[in-house]
């Protein structure tokens, strides 16, 4: 190809695709909107003028840009319409205006907005040094949050927010971003022909985390090496594509699910799902959560105890701040709830049954609790697993029964709901391991006793109506920063085998007894969350999961390993850390595990949660 042919082919193909999409949608419905709104995020590919008022070169509000666009030159870096414009028209919507051109508090059109900013990227530092004032993807997310709070909640104020949820759940979100992260970050100050660039390591920061969205349109990165300016630089005499740059593009044929994710998009999807949860789109009627701090959302908050996390820097990336989750943002149960289309289950101790009006489930988890009644209960407010299931019994009798029309409705609600349990590690770390002179026989007998007690609580839930269980194994306890730093203070870069062996032996017994429960209880279905494998592999090869640091906590910790409230300092790149404090994983790690368990294979056995909902 010469350059003219190459550009001609690319443009012709693009126009053909867009024309097909346009005609297809218009023929479906010429007069009816196919979606209530289109929300656009990304870079110059879909920018419509958000940078116009900035004193930078990263804007195109001058001729010949817009020469074929009706009216003035709006800021689109093309001759006419961009991809987002065609999508809007095909959907029967008005073109989404640039967010920076409107007053959001007085804007009444709810057909969508455009947040895209030229020269921006997925990463926070892409383009911001060269072009001050551009809006990164994270900044665009903040604009979207502002839209929901200051516009949609005011304009769509029916049914206490349900109208907003319905609007967002049916809207289309278009995302086109990523090319500038390569062009302005990885490739800056690097020779075009350099062979030693660590492409794989950089690509890990740009992986897309698919939480199962149905209404997202996410464009991958174009063929970088075929852009005219790249071709001119590399081969000025005889233009052709630059193969090395094209090899940077994401491969859809990858054998690993995790190679499809972009870790920086996690907050975007979680934020959007937190608004679109709607009863009409749920995959299960409710999610009931039991366990320890891994899934606690604040049940210990009102007690004078060290076993709570309702202070900064916990919750730094959570929309409501420090709620009691011992992580920077969402925990695994949160991600599962949002993926099911449910509201996030509130802490059971925060709810008044007389006034509460949502039956999407509750969270009974309590930090420092365990399976055994004496684990952690020396600390005020800690609820053992038995106390949590007792609380669920109370929920059934005092909350669910009065709300359900008849016993059949209650039975259907409970049998189709998901019961999510993460517990057991505290029974070892702050119970069994605190005693001295332990033998191998003691270890086996304790683990056997522990799984038997666990089975008793699962049976109690079954007799109350539960049928669909997600039971997580104990994690690789020897790979937590707390264990590693204690065992190897001078060189904390490997796991503690003794603790991991203890966890593996317990998990073997747990899997055996869960199989027995499935055999003995009619209609019961149990998924095992392979938490040990996930946390162990994350420690051994964090880059595989898009992470960089596996053994160091992200926050500044106290002597007992929790974040220091007096020094609420965190690492800058929280999405690249496996652990937030010395015990608890970050939102990034939580999202990877939960989402893989929800919709993929391997993280949960024998099938994923989406498949469980279909049984």
Q: Are 386 and 373 in contact (CB under 8 A)?
A: yes
- Residue 556's nearest CA partner among 566, 543, 546, 548 is 566
Q: Is 176 helix (H, G, I), strand (E, B) or coil?
A: strand
Q: Are 91 and 172 in contact (CB under 8 A)?
A: yes
Beta bridge partner(s), residue 380: none
For 363, phi then psi, to 5°, come to -115, 120
Q: Are 52 and 65 in contact (CB under 8 A)?
A: no
Q: Which helix (H) or strand (E) holds 139?
A: helix 137-147
Q: Which residues does the annotation mark as catalytic?
A: 293, 581, 584
Beta bridge partner(s), residue 579: 553, 585
Three-state secondary structure string covering 456-475: HHHHHHHHCCCCEEEEECCC
- CB neighbours of 106 closer than 8 A, spacing ≥ 6? none
- Residue 286's nearest CA partner among 412, 159, 460 is 412
Alpha-carbon Rg for the chain, nearest whole angstrom, is 26
For 613, phi then psi, to 5°, come to -65, -20
Q: Are 164 and 36 in contact (CB under 8 A)?
A: no
- Residue 118's nearest CA partner among 214, 51, 209, 30 is 51
Instruction: State the maximum Cα–Cα separation within the chain, in Å, rounded to a whole number.
Output: 83
Q: Which helix (H) or strand (E) holds 514?
A: helix 497-520
Other Cβ atoms closer than 10 A to 198: 10
Q: Is 266 helix (H, G, I), strand (E, B) or coil?
A: helix
What is the rounded CA–CA span in Å between residue 219 and residue 87? Answer: 13
What is the rounded CA–CA span in Å between residue 384 and residue 459? Answer: 16
Q: Where are the alpha helices (DSSP H) in 340-439?
A: 385-395, 401-403, 407-416, 425-429
What is the rounded CA–CA span in Å between residue 270 and residue 260? Answer: 17
Q: Are 478 and 540 in contact (CB under 8 A)?
A: no
Other Cβ atoms closer than 10 A to 164: 24
Helix and strand totals (H; E) in the chain: 21, 10
Q: Is 363 helix (H, G, I), strand (E, B) or coil?
A: strand
Residue count of the chain: 615
What is the rounded CA–CA span in Å between residue 586 and residue 321? Answer: 15
What is the rounded CA–CA span in Å between residue 436 and residue 455? Answer: 27
Beta bridge partner(s), residue 289: 363, 420
Evaluate the omega torsion of the peptide bond into residue 130 and state whether it is cis, within 30 degrees of 0: no
CA dihedral 41, 47, 48, 53 (to 10 degrees): 110
- Residue 215's nearest CA partner among 39, 47, 23 is 39
């Amino acid at each position: 190809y010469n350059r003219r042919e190459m550009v001609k082919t690319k443009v012709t193909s693009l126009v053909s695709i867009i024309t097909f999409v346009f005609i297809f949608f218009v023929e479906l419905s010429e007069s009816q909107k196919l979606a209530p709104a289109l929300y656009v995020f990304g870079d110059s590919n879909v920018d419509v003028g958000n940078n116009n008022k900035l004193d930078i070169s990263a804007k195109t509000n001058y001729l010949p840009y817009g020469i074929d666009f009706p009216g003035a030159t709006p800021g689109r870096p093309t001759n006419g319409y961009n991809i987002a414009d065609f999508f809007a028209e095909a959907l029967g919507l008005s073109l989404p205006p640039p967010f920076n051109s409107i007053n959001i508090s007085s804007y009444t059109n709810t057909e969508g907005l455009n947040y895209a900013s030229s020269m921006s990227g997925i990463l926070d530092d892409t383009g911001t040094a060269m072009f001050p004032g551009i809006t990164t993807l994270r900044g665009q997310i903040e604009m979207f949050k502002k839209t929901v709070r200051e516009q949609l909640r005011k304009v769509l104020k029916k049914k206490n927010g349900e109208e907003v949820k319905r609007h967002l759940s049916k809207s289309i979100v278009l995302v086109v971003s990523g090319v500038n992260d390569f062009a302005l970050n990885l490739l800056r100050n690097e020779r075009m022909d350099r062979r030693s660039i660590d492409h794989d390591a950089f690509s890990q920061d740009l992986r897309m985390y698919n939480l199962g969205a149905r209404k997202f349109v996410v464009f991958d990165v174009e063929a970088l090496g075929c852009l005219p300016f790249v071709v001119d630089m590399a081969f000025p005499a005889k233009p052709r594509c630059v193969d090395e740059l094209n090899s940077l593009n994401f491969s859809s044929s990858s054998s690993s699910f995790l190679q499809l994710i972009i870790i920086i998009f996690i907050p975007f999807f979680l934020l959007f799902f937190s608004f679109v949860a709607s009863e009409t789109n749920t995959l299960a009627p409710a999610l009931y959560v039991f366990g320890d701090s891994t899934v606690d959302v604040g049940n210990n908050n009102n007690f004078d105890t060290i076993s709570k996390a309702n202070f900064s820097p916990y919750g730094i990336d959570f929309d409501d701040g420090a709620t009691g989750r011992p992580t920077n943002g969402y925990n695994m149960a949160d991600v599962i709830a949002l993926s099911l289309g449910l509201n996030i289950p509130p802490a059971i101790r925060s709810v008044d049954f007389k006034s509460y009006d949502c039956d999407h489930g509750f969270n009974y988890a309590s930090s420092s609790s365990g399976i055994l009644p004496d684990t952690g209960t020396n600390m005020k407010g800690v609820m053992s697993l038995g106390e949590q299931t007792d609380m669920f019994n109370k929920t059934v009798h005092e909350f669910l029964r009065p709300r359900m029309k008849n016993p059949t409705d209650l039975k259907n609600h409970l049998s189709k709901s998901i019961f999510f349990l993460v517990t057991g590690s505290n029974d070892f770390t702050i119970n069994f391991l605190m005693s001295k002179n332990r033998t191998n026989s003691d270890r086996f007998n304790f683990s056997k006793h522990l799984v038997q007690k666990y089975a008793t609580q699962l049976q109690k839930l079954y007799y109350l109506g539960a049928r669909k269980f997600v039971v997580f194994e104990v994690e690789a306890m020897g790979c937590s920063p707390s264990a590693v730093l204690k065992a190897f203070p001078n060189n904390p870069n490997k796991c503690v085998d003794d603790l991991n062996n203890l966890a593996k032996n317990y998990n073997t017994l747990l899997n055996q007894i869960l199989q027995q429960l499935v055999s003995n209880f009619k209609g019961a279905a149990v998924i095992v969350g392979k938490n040990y494998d996930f946390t162990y592999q994350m420690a051994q090869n964090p880059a595989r999961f898009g992470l960089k640091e596996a053994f160091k906590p992200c926050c500044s910790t106290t002597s007992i390993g929790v974040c220091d409230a007096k020094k609420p300092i965190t690492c800058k790149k929280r999405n690249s850390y496996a652990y937030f404090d010395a015990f608890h994983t970050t939102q990034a790690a939580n999202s990877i595990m939960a989402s893989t368990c929800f919709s993929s294979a391997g993280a949960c056995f024998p099938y994923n949660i989406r498949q469980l909902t279909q049984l």
